Structure 1
């Protein structure tokens, strides 16, 4: 399992860590209108899955805005999903306040399904640890980054390069 800290304190991650080259596990999260969303809902597309502890924090907001801005250059075959344990209503409010219209924010607050499927649930806080995944059109994980300190930024350039490589397959 990935070794992760949050504010420099070790945390316990729940779930199964995903590995590059493996088939991505399915999950069920909630859209802002409370409808269920699964990985299979975006089948046939390249998925960049940006995972944040809470959209209402500086690093998470920057991460989400960075990927929202990058979306325009990634093309129609790419879907960007931002997943957190925030309530769907808070996610919708954040999107409206930040003009985030090129990504889909999804909530894992109800079942922690994504947290357990991708090994990103912080047991002590019931939040998701900062991470980024790229899943190709065949549902194979082609990139996985578990950020070692939850308050640090992911490697945006590497994640976006992984998306571009996945779209060229």
Structure 2
């Protein structure tokens, strides 16, 4: 179990994120067109998993906007924005914001949160995901991970980008 905070109050997740150096577990998530996407669909690319509770919060929305901008000129890099928001809401949000450099994926019918140990196990967001970023190299190995200590804070974008550019 990992301990983080939500507005200063202690909350817990199911466990620790997968370790740096390990192969990332494959998953099946739902794209905005309701097709299923697997991590293996992005094999051979650098993959940023931008994981958060919901696009309906300002911090989550900001992280999607920020990653959309940061990867706009990067080749062979994809950002998968993962939450339990329904695919319809994700599509509407990205269209309204003009975000086309990120791929929103829904875990509404997935075990993703349990497989990656980042689902909240208690607190008001129980069942949703803690704000986390996991970066994978072209071989699918984890090269960076961050579970944001305070859920209302944004991830450390500079460290994410530094991990990619190593």
Shorter chain as denominator, the TM-score bin is over 0.9
Distance across 2 between alignment mates of 1:63 and 1:143: 17
Q: Take 1:22 and 1:64, find their aligned partners in 2: how far apart are those partners?
A: 25
What is the distance in 1 between the residues matched to 2:9 and 2:108?
23
**Alpha-carbon RMSD:** 1.3
Shift of 1:3: 2.0
Q: Secondary structure at the match of 1:97?
A: helix
Counterpart in the other structure of 1:102: 101
Q: Which residue of 2 aligns with 1:47?
A: 47
Deviation at 1:15, TM superposition (A): 5.3
Structure 2 matches for 1:62-141, cutoff 5 A?
A: 62-75=62-75, 77-111=76-110, 113-124=111-122, 125-141=126-142
How far is 1:18 from its partner? 0.6
Q: Is the 8 A contact 1:80 1:104 kept in 2?
A: yes
Q: Write the distance in 1 (CA, Å) between the matches of 2:16 and 2:43.
A: 22
SS of 2:95's equivalent in the other structure is helix
Where does the alignment leave 5 or more consecutive residues of structure 1 unmatched?
none
As a proportion of its length, which structure holds more helix? 1
Measure the CA separation in 2 of the matches of 1:155 and 1:144: 10
1:34-56 CA distance string (max 9 Å, x none): 11111101011110111111111
| 1:159 aligned onto 2:125 | no
Kept in 1: contact 2:2–2:15 (CA 8 A) = no
Distance across 2 between alignment mates of 1:17 and 1:133? 9
